[in-house]
Structure 1
């Protein structure tokens, strides 16, 4: 993997972590729908598993 590819993967991983953490915080605050949406988007953006940007 090139340096640019590694940088992009790291950036996507950081964004995914932020989205999932924000989703968990939303769930704790009682915003069920918004929390679920943030977690799903975080999983879709992340470089591991299913990623909408790697297809």
Structure 2
């Protein structure tokens, strides 16, 4: 389960960065934040 969350988190982070580069700032920031929360070990408090 941890591997799936890590992969999903990485995909969301990459999609967020690409969204920011394409000018979709809000969608990119939301994707990056959700990706960081989903990736295990990133935020220990959540």
TM-score where L is the length of structure 2: 0.87
Q: Say which one has the larger Rg.
A: 1
Gaps of at least 5 residues in structure 2 are: none
> Given the alignment of the two structures, is residue 22 of structure 1 paired with residue 15 of structure 2, yes or no?
yes
Q: May I ask how many residue pairs the two structures share in their alignment?
A: 46
Q: 1: CA distance between counterparts of 2:26 and 2:20? A: 8
TM-score where L is the length of structure 1: 0.74
Q: Which has the higher contact order (CA 8 A, sep 6+)?
A: 2
Gaps of at least 5 residues in structure 1 are: 1-7
Q: Secondary structure at the match of 1:48?
A: coil
Q: 1: CA distance between counterparts of 2:18 and 2:24? A: 9
